[in-house]
Copies of this chain bind each other. A is one copy, B any other.
Amino acid sequence: MKPINVGLLGIGTVGGGTFGVLARNRDEIERRAGRGIRITRVADKDLARARALVESATPAGEPPAVVCDDAFAVVRDPDVDIVVELIGGYGIAKDLVLEAIAHGKHVVTANKALLALHGNEIFGAAQARGVMVAFEAAVGGGIPIIKALREGLTANRIEWIAGIINGTSNFILSEMRDKGLAFDTVLAQAQKLGYAEADPTFDIEGIDAGHKLTIMSAIAFGVPMRFERAYTEGITRLTAEDIRYAEELGYRIKLLGITRRVGEGESAGIELRVHPTLVPASRLIANVEGVMNAVLVKGDAVGQTMYYGAGAGSEPTASAVVADLVDITRLATVDPENRVPHLAFQPDRISSVPVLPIADIESAYYLRMRVQDRPGVLADITRVLADRTISIDAMVQKEPAAGESEADIILLTHRTIERNMDAAIASIEALATVSGRVTRLRLEEL
């Protein structure tokens, strides 16, 4: 089956990631999608950089994508099936998306500002023209939160959503709390690390989060995009002492986007608000640190569910862009074989890679053993492990209880093959100074 041809508008951070992921995982993606997905055209103002990027990422022996600086030529190209818009903003990007739709192209975009402000017009045009506009990358980077709301939780009356949906501000709040630093100090540091832009207004004033929240609110409740009604309050006025006082009271401060359905019938309304929020420190979402994002969704049937992951960055965002490309590739066909395959991969592309016996897996280990409290015992045990090149990560030796001559030793080891650990444990159990069996648990840093 002939590959799907993609026209890419803008090959910056996310565009470069999209190009790279499609090239690197080409086989894996084709096994899932049922046909190849290839970027055949790229438009970018910086021609030289775009050409260099395309050249370096194109697999040997393949025709490279055609690079130009005229994005309109790409969206009008009859050979392009899907347009990926990664330019951002709502000037030229809006014109390009509407032009692509007018030319019958499906569109994939990461542009939350565009959708939050002009989504109603864009989706209306797409509906009228019978094309898809997919936007998983617009909210929560690589976290498939749009799909969860649009398809995964369709049984539910969604009651509310609360999300950490701006990595920059979450990084700043995490650092302020961890290190007791002032907002300005951490902001400067975040800019140096590349986590905040030179003009950080959209991130720290809650505007970016407001765009994303507007999109989630629309698809959760079945309402239009109404960013102009959103309340946005940023983190610029937060002080280190408020963070500390909140902590004393058992709370963390997070910049949350909250949308909630309240009232019934005539008095029904929707809350749409972004602001710093105290959250009980014991909640999972209160423990989402640094640039990570998380969205908590409360549905009437499912209860609370949470979705966590990297909310920005080249490849995490590209992960969402490519997922949308696969979705369109799978769905924009009336061929039953090209709907979503039962087992995610096309039935004729299932692999036969074997399942390993447990003896062949690699893990770190927790070992607990009961030993006689006499000199040399520990040396015997560590000798057994050293002989098998198993290194020890941590060790706790307990004192014998009153009147007892035996005590517990607990060891954490570095990773080794289970077969090797089995043999080591057998040798340890054979030591005269060790009583009974060694308790062995596996340990994963994750």
In the docked arrangement, what's the CA distance between A124 and B347, Å?
8
| Candidates B127, B256, B302, B410; contact of A316 at CB < 8 Å | B302
Could you give, for residues 12-28 of chain A, a 1 whenever the CB lies within 8 Å of some chain B CB and a 0 otherwise? 00000100011011001
Pair B308/A303 contact, Cβ less than 8 Å: no
In the docked arrangement, what's the CA distance between A230 and B350, Å?
18
In the docked arrangement, what's the CA distance between A242 and B439, Å?
9
The answer to the question of A220 belonging to the interface, with a C-beta cut-off of 8 Å to chain B, is yes
Chain A interfacial residues counted at CB < 8 A? 139
* Closest partner residue, chain B, to A355 (CB atom): B229
What residues of B have a CB within 8 angstroms of the CB of A270 in the complex? Answer: 353-356
Pairs A–B under 8 Å by Cβ, sample size 15 = A25-B300, A25-B301, A33-B154, A218-B344, A245-B368, A253-B441, A271-B356, A276-B442, A278-B443, A278-B444, A280-B445, A287-B287, A301-B315, A302-B316, A306-B308
Interface residues of A (CB under 8 A from B): 17, 21-22, 24-25, 28-29, 31-33, 119, 123-124, 126-127, 130, 132-133, 136, 141-144, 147-157, 162, 218-224, 226, 229-231, 237, 239, 241-242, 245-246, 248-249, 251, 253, 256, 258, 260-262, 268-273, 275-280, 283-285, 287-288, 296, 299-310, 315-316, 318-323, 326-327, 331, 334, 336, 339-345, 347, 349-358, 360-362, 366, 368, 394, 396, 408, 410, 412, 439, 441-446
New A-B pairs, 15, CB < 8 Å, besides A29-B154, A136-B152: A29-B155, A147-B147, A151-B323, A154-B322, A162-B444, A218-B344, A222-B345, A277-B441, A277-B442, A284-B284, A284-B287, A285-B446, A301-B322, A303-B315, A305-B307
